[in-house]
Amino acid sequence: MLQLNLPEYSFRIKKQNEKLLIFDSQRKRYVKLTPEEWVRQRFIRFLIEEKSYPAAYLVIEKQLNMNGMKKRCDAILYNVNVEPILIIELKAPNVLISQATFDQVAVYNAKLKVDFFMISNGIEHFCCRVNTENARYEYFSEIPDYSLLK
């Protein structure tokens, strides 16, 4: 698999009809192992195991209805009151994180109104706090522990 800027973890991977599948412990099923899915699995595991994010509060591929169109967030973290607090957007390692990626998250945030978002392609990672007072992003120097998002 592709080398990422994330810790190594073991995963259940199987081959079915000439396609590789990886077991997604959040969705409780095997999914097609694409480069983006490889990033998602490693990044989510990193958040849970290294940064103490509660697995029960993470929802993968959450569908949003926006102006009659269906959009899908890669992951959303909810708080204990089932309110969204963090949008996670993940890309394949060969996809450069650009302004368009940040704009994509901003579109999701128009609906969700979260205070934080993360973007990663498995190599570069960004985490921001949304400062609504001056319409700016305040960047963290590294991915924060869950306790800092409360």
Confidence of residue 1 (pLDDT cuts 50, 70, 90): low
Residue 95 tokens read as 């996809």
Q: Is residue 1 a part of any domain in this protein?
A: no
Q: Is residue 53 a part of any domain in this protein?
A: yes
The count of domains in the chain is 1
Q: Is residue 6 a part of any domain in this protein?
A: no
Indicate the pTM of the whole model. Answer: 0.92
Q: How far apart are CA 66 and CA 87, in angstroms?
A: 16
3-state helix, strand, coil in the chain (%, to 5): 25, 35, 40
Q: Is residue 111 a part of any domain in this protein?
A: yes
Range of the structural domain that residue 120 is part of: 13-149
Q: Is residue 99 a part of any domain in this protein?
A: yes
CATH, residue 43 = 3.90.1570.30
DSSP 57-101: GEEEEEEEEETTEEEEEEEEEE-TTS-EEEEEEE--TTSPP-HHH
Q: Is residue 93 a part of any domain in this protein?
A: yes
Q: Is residue 2 a part of any domain in this protein?
A: no
Q: Is residue 3 a part of any domain in this protein?
A: no
User: Looking at residue 2, what is its pLDDT?
Assistant: 72
pLDDT digits (tens, 9 = 90+) for 17-35: 999 999 999 999 999 999 9
Residue 145 tokens read as 């522990």
pLDDT digits (tens, 9 = 90+) for 78-132: 999 999 999 999 999 999 999 999 888 988 888 899 999 999 999 999 999 988 7
Confidence of residue 3 (pLDDT cuts 50, 70, 90): confident
Average pLDDT, the chain: 92
Which region, left, alpha or beta, applies to residue 26 given φ > 0 means left and ψ of -120 to 50 means alpha?
alpha
Q: How far apart are CA 80 and CA 141, in angstroms?
A: 26
Confidence of residue 69 (pLDDT cuts 50, 70, 90): confident
Q: What is the DSSP letter of 5?
A: S
Q: Which residue has the tokens 């591929």?
A: 61
| End-to-end Cα distance, the chain | 34
